Amino acid sequence: MLEFLSAAILLAMTGGAWAGADTKVLDHHVANMKTGDLNAVLSDYSPDVVVVTPAGVFSPDGVFTGSDIRKLFTMLTAKDSLPGNKTMQTKYQNAGADTSIMQWVQFKGTPKEISGYDVFVTRGGKIVFQTVTINAKK
């Protein structure tokens, strides 16, 4: 899995020329994260999806598969998360035929600012793989 992530980042840094992930799916995902619509967010994911988050932040190992992603996105669309989600600004960079890196920032320019990037792989209009990276606070 680390080899895949490294390849995706390398392609992004070198200006990979492929189409990238399905941005309609990513736009739908972000819009529904901002409104906290859990079921709409989950509808973007393949039944056999793998989502990798920083270990210890959302779960001990940070890996969510299949229907387990409901646990993750229940946390991320909860009332306490909505203020950050509503302020989220995103920018996509293509990283392969079906892969994009989304840079994101919440609460930009405030003491609460948090940022990171997600790598998405989409196939058949669904997200099949996602990693979440949160930038360390300075």
* CATH at 119: 3.10.450.50
Query: How many domains does the chain fold into?
Result: 1
Task: Give strand pairing partners of 119.
Answer: 101, 131
Question: Is residue 16 scored above 60 in pLDDT?
Answer: no
Q: Answer yes or no: is 120 within a domain.
A: yes
Q: Answer yes or no: is 64 within a domain.
A: yes
Q: Answer yes or no: is 19 within a domain.
A: no
What does the alpha-carbon distance between residue 129 and residue 44 come to, in Å, rounded to a whole number?
11
Q: Answer yes or no: is 85 within a domain.
A: yes
Question: Is residue 7 scored above 50 in pLDDT?
Answer: no
Average pLDDT of span 111-138: 92
Q: Answer yes or no: is 35 within a domain.
A: yes
Q: Which residues contact 96 (CB under 8 A, 6 or more apart)?
A: 7, 8, 11, 16, 18, 20, 121
Enter the pTM of the model: 0.82
pLDDT for 6 equals 44
Q: Answer yes or no: is 80 within a domain.
A: yes
In three-state form (DSSP H/G/I as H, E/B as E, the rest C), the secondary structure along 3-67 is HHHHHHHHHHHCCCCCCCCCHHHHHHHHHHHHHCCHHHHHCCEEEEEEEECCCCCCCCCCEEEHH
| Residue indicated by tokens 């990693």 | 131
What does the alpha-carbon distance between residue 2 and residue 7 come to, in Å, rounded to a whole number?
8
Question: pLDDT by residue (tens digit) across 58-109?
Answer: 999 999 999 999 999 999 999 999 999 999 999 999 888 899 999 999 999 9
Domain that holds residue 51: 2-13+24-134
Average pLDDT of span 11-29: 66
Q: Answer yes or no: is 18 within a domain.
A: no
